[in-house]
Structure 1
């Protein structure tokens, strides 16, 4: 297995659709190149933000292949999770064949396995696919929490090299980081609003929704926190705080796709059962995006003045 550096910022990419709800591969590849140019450390297509639940298996592979083809130097970590272990294994094998550098596997949802079932699920895939794999814990979507003891047990497998933490429980996340400090195991934030706190207790970065919209600021925030410059990280966290909140006023990825359209990065179109952002939230989202653009212009102007 080739080592994969899981420190930094990894945008959870959106999947753009055209008027006929087909994947818009040209926009997808342009977006991947935009994010790479902004300095992100890797890309994560076909996860929850990429509407993986509405993609066919063939579409999963096509999206992964398109993103790999579009970028030059950043790793591509494919979302391949399912509540069916055989299906997750098949998706993982297809992603590996397509050239993915790593895998992100959401824990099985709806059928609510016991902790021993979670261990067997992840080990089955890790035994069969020789790629770095990230366990993804998001109980609000799956109905089942991955307990710290389970995460620690999984970290002993050589192919299970990361944990995406979206439980909202900082104590639990810190415990996992603490108990795996001697393993080749990264704890990544899966919640933009908790990225800086998670890094402060041992996290290595973030698989981020907000980085689709503000990749440079997100990279600056994470870089400052990883370097121990917490005053700077806190300032950037506060700048981005309104965006973090607006991106979760409705189910992800509804708000982020609306933000992508407002910024001109891609269409807001969704596949059912997800729908466009409710009109009552759009003005606030537009205002937050405008404020961030104004701040960027002000900073750029101040930097230009300083160079004279």
Structure 2
């Protein structure tokens, strides 16, 4: 690992400890693009700074919501450095790495140089290997860095229980994020970690609009979840999280019925809308984050109006 970082060692240690003990709303910022389709670094710094000001437990920069799949390495460098700058040495910042193994390793070096606190290992590109290959992919990334890593169980990285047992041997594995939605399988992962004595490994719900499924995940020992909604509507996301922490099922149901369920219905109209709607919601708030990049598409005017009304209703519910 390179020793070039942008934060002091004492702060670095505290922040890395934070990766091993995540809490609060997990924030997945978008990557804004300007009129020339360049990463808007200053806008991204402001976007991430606002997230921390609103109480984010950690920011995951250049991940799924941040369109990692659409960034060059140079653009990735801009995005990751912007996230670290916004955290100012006090907030926890993780960066996405994944896709082609060579690209992922280059991303690791860039993220280390920027001074991130940890990495979210995204699935490999295109091909789906056997379980041995999937485990080897994550091990190769984990062994290229001393940074804490979280493995993303999604898409071409669909883990078996045996694979998770193997990954638990990695000393810098600190978490597994689930994007598959098989709660029974996630329960097996949690139990495997307990049997291995890895109580330090955290599990969290990374499904699209995770608030809608979090009750089921909490029941199997997965208390953490990522919130894409937080990026565009932090007041609503924070209100849900507060009700969730307090065990206020009535308030959670009110927000699910009035905001999250209509949002999920709109999201499911078009593939990729989990990201597109977040960027549109930010533009509706006056933050010119630009469009999503192909192959994603922006909502139609009618869909944008639907989103505006859903957000308006959500804000009414939390006022």
Tell me the TM-score normalized by structure 2: 0.84
Correspondence for 1:189: 205
Correspondence for 1:170: 183
Correspondence for 2:114: 98
| Deviation sequence 1:216-263 (CA, Å, 0-9, x none) | 432343354355554544444444422344344331311211111112
SS across alignment from 1:43: strand
Task: Quote the Cα distance in structure 2 between the aligned partners of 1:99 and 1:39.
Answer: 21
Match of 2:94 among 49, 67, 77: 77
Task: Quote the Cα distance in structure 2 between the aligned partners of 1:153 and 1:260.
Answer: 40
| Deviation sequence 1:275-303 (CA, Å, 0-9, x none) | 2213342222111011112223xx3xxxx
Match of 2:308 among 264, 272, 286: 286
Match of 2:163 among 135, 146, 150: 150
Query: Considering only aligned residues, what root-mean-square deviation do their CA atoms show, in Å?
Result: 2.1
Mapped contact 1:7–1:204 kept (Cα < 8 A): no
| Deviation sequence 1:129-181 (CA, Å, 0-9, x none) | 01111111222xx3x52223212321231111111111021211222223223
Tell me if 1:225 matches 2:244: yes
Task: Quote the Cα distance in structure 2 between the aligned partners of 1:220 and 1:156.
Answer: 37
Mapped contact 1:8–1:204 kept (Cα < 8 A): no
Change (3 A) 1:136 1:201: same
More divergent stretch after superposition (53-62 vs 206-215): 206-215
Correspondence for 1:60: 76
CA shift at 1:12, angstroms? 1.5
Task: Quote the Cα distance in structure 1 between the aligned partners of 2:253 and 2:189.
Answer: 23
Task: Quote the Cα distance in structure 2 between the aligned partners of 1:223 and 1:177.
Answer: 24
CA shift at 1:95, angstroms? 0.4
Tell me the TM-score normalized by structure 1: 0.87
What are structure 1's unaligned runs of at least 5 residues? 300-308
What are structure 2's unaligned runs of at least 5 residues? 1-12
Correspondence for 2:61: 45
Mapped contact 1:210–1:243 kept (Cα < 8 A): no
